[in-house]
Amino acid sequence: MTTAAQPQAPTLELWPGKAYPLGATYDGYGTNFALFSEIAEKVELCLFDANGEQTECFTLPEVDGFVWHGFVPNIEPGQRYGYRVHGPYDPENGHRCNPNKLLVDPYSKAIDGSFEWNQSLFSYNFGDPDSRNDEDSAPHMPKSVVINPYFDWGVDRPPGHEYADTVIYEAHVKGLTQTHPDIPEQIRGTYAAVAHPAIIEHLTSLGVNAIELMPVHHFANDSTLVDKGLSNYWGYNTIGFFAPDFKYSANPNPGGQVQEFKAMVRALHEAGIEVILDVVYNHTAEGNHMGPTLSMRGIDNAAYYSLVDDDKRYYMDYTGTGNSLNVRHPHSLQLIMDSLRYWVTEMHVDGFRFDLASTLAREFYDVDRLATFFELVQQDPTVSQVKLIAEPWDVGPGGYQVGNFPPQWTEWNGKYRDTVRDFWRGEPATLDEFAYRLTGSADLYEHTARRPVASINFVIAHDGFTLRDLVSYNEKHNEANGEDNNDGESHNRSWNCGVEGPTDDPEVLALRSRQERNFLTTLLLSQGVPMICHGDELGRSQGGNNNGYCQDNEITWIDWSTADTELLEFTRTVAQLRAEHPVFRRRRFFSGKPLGRRGQDSLPDITWFTPEGAEMTGEDWGSGFAKSVGVYLNGHGIPDMDARGQRVVDDSFLLFFNAHYEPIEFTLPSEEFAKSWIPVISTAGEPGADPQPAGATVSVEARAVLVLKAETDAS
């Protein structure tokens, strides 16, 4: 058994320093180190060279308010360090200090190296969880890094897009860029690649003005995956809430990932693209009571983690990952808020998507809309002003909270995803709910005084089938994950269009293509904020794998060489229609009432039609077999004002949705709506250019959408 080496007497000076800010802070003369631990009896700061050899070890001389601190002159950016915390090792009472375990600073701004999984990273001996293991973990641990906080941002400023005008693109740094032929090989898969002109041009051509990056906080690869030759590709296993992961950096210097990340943000901002981070504050990579001691567990386990009240050896697990962060403790809450504020003020990001956000509302057991975390966000002058997106569920009791987050929050609308999928695969009795989802989900958000933009609409996200696979597979095919296809969601609301997986059948391929266009058209023309999952506009497939979390390879990377260029052009066309017409991105819910007394102002802002051209009745909505509907969007019925205080006026549109398996004849409404209509989008092929007079019938192909614009004198 190897215990921590006893270092020689320090050769550097150590001054008292300050208790704030937490973490390692370089000021041009030296570095201040500060670490919170309420349970610690002594805290050692250990310095390491480029070879991982410990060169110095100081006992931090001061403690104020449970913050241990010291200042070391002449410590410069690039210095690697870690902590050893002396204190009680008493798992039954929730304490797991062990100075033989080198610990990552929770406030590390950069982390260098990876975890080398072996016995030393655990505080117990394998096979005997009640024992204590005192092997030194330092040789197998990554090291925290002192960073250079200075960066030339130039004239960088946040794009500041209104939610209603935002189109979000969910992307993985590596998956998006790893095979792009126009990106130099040496930077593929990195922050620098995301900033490459080829990626920026692709995003802007789609009308995307916000990229939502899957986790870039430093994360650990699970040892169970490493043993299988796999890795935690998605990154939902955070160990550093301030540190951009070095695995996505082309800069080899310690701390260089910070500069590269900032350069990426600057480049995206120059193109008018906001940067939203997918953040995982609900748990950490330290797992349950059988997990490793990497950071917070060894610093102050009971302060940072929610423990079982009557047996503190065990962790409350609302996330399915082994532990949950303790949002009842002020220092744990401070860690989250400091991290959020840092990413906004120092890294210039524009918003956050909170993974399993319901966990952050569990102060005791139930989910509480008025939890302290939400109160802190509400009153914070920095964090409250950026985009805040909740994944409004977790795996704990009562965790599904779609529609229940506080007013300034938006939410991934899981009900939108499920309803739109069901409608287009022909499920009965979905028409009325489909109408709610298309118009911004007022049933979910209006009661909390929120607006349509509270709904982040999506059909596809990283977790589940890609769009191409949604229309190609009835069943998941996750054999490559090594769990006998038992992992991943089994109820996908997918439909393979008649054949499971790849096929040469032209009819099946045509139907799949039409279904993809149906989903993209519905998504981009719904009220709310659309989110496209990376590669769906290109026909990306994962071969039916709906749980690619561990596949860092061709299964999950976009294959740019096989891009479906026709689908890409179609997506661009629909996105452009949305961008040009505010009637598709209203800031307020429809009322069903007219705004005025004359002309189109005298018509309701929205009217629903049966295929026969009659206005929908309650009986029509309740018809379980109905799968087709038309909707009139009145461009003169928009109650929004522009930046000058002028009322917004737009063209009017008709949208015909046919989820039936046969073509349907739709009758155009009477002349009071418009004298004629111009087809502009058809998911079944070219829409045709000839105007159609009021009262005429138009045929909408089986499982297709037809969009028509009211003809005006200007048309």
Give the ranges where 634-701 is alpha helix by DSSP (H). none
Give the ranges where 622-666 is alpha helix by DSSP (H). none
Whether the bond between 21 and the residue before it is cis, its omega within 30 degrees of 0, is yes
Distance of alpha carbon 329 from alpha carbon 390, whole angstroms: 21
Distance of alpha carbon 445 from alpha carbon 217, whole angstroms: 31
Query: Catalytic: which of 135, 391, 411, 651?
Result: 391
Distance of alpha carbon 683 from alpha carbon 577, whole angstroms: 14
What is the number of helices (H) and of strands (E) in the chain? 15, 29
Residues 708, 711, 712, CA angle at the centre, nearest 5°?
A: 145
DSSP label at residue 429: S
Kind and range of the H or E run holding 82: strand 80-86
Instruction: Give the residues across from 307 on adjacent strands.
Output: 315
Residues whose CB falls within 8 Å of the CB of residue 369, separated by 6 or more in sequence, listed in order: 361, 404, 405, 406
Q: Is the dihedral of CA 543, 549, 554, 557 positive or negative?
A: positive
* Residue 670: how many other CB atoms lie within 10 Å: 11
Q: Single out the residue of 144, 180, 139 nearest to residue 257, CA to CA.
A: 144
Distance of alpha carbon 106 from alpha carbon 390, whole angstroms: 23
Question: Which residue type, as a one-letter code, is found at position 658?
Answer: N
Residues 652, 658, 663, CA angle at the centre, nearest 5°?
A: 115
Q: Single out the residue of 247, 217, 222 nearest to residue 232, CA to CA.
A: 222
* Residue 554: how many other CB atoms lie within 10 Å: 12
Q: Is the dihedral of CA 570, 572, 578, 580 positive or negative?
A: negative
309 is catalytic: no
355 is catalytic: yes
Tally of CA atoms within 13 A in the half-sphere of 334 that contains its CB: 13
Assign residue 543 a region: left if phi > 0, alpha if psi is -120 to 50, beta otherwise? Answer: left
Query: Catalytic: which of 56, 135, 212, 355?
Result: 355
Instruction: Give the residues across from 96 on adjacent strands.
Output: 89
Query: In whole angstroms, how far apart are CA 155 and each of 152, 158, 274?
Result: 9, 10, 15
Tokens found for residue 244:
């951009």
Rg, the chain, Cα only = 28
Kind and range of the H or E run holding 343: helix 330-345
Give the ranges where 400-505 is alpha helix by DSSP (H). 414-424, 431-438, 442-445, 467-470
Give 211-247 as a DSSP string: EEE---EEE---HHHHHTT---SS---EEEEEEE-GG
The answer to whether the CB of 322 falls within 8 A of the CB of 313 is no
Catalytic site positions: 355, 391
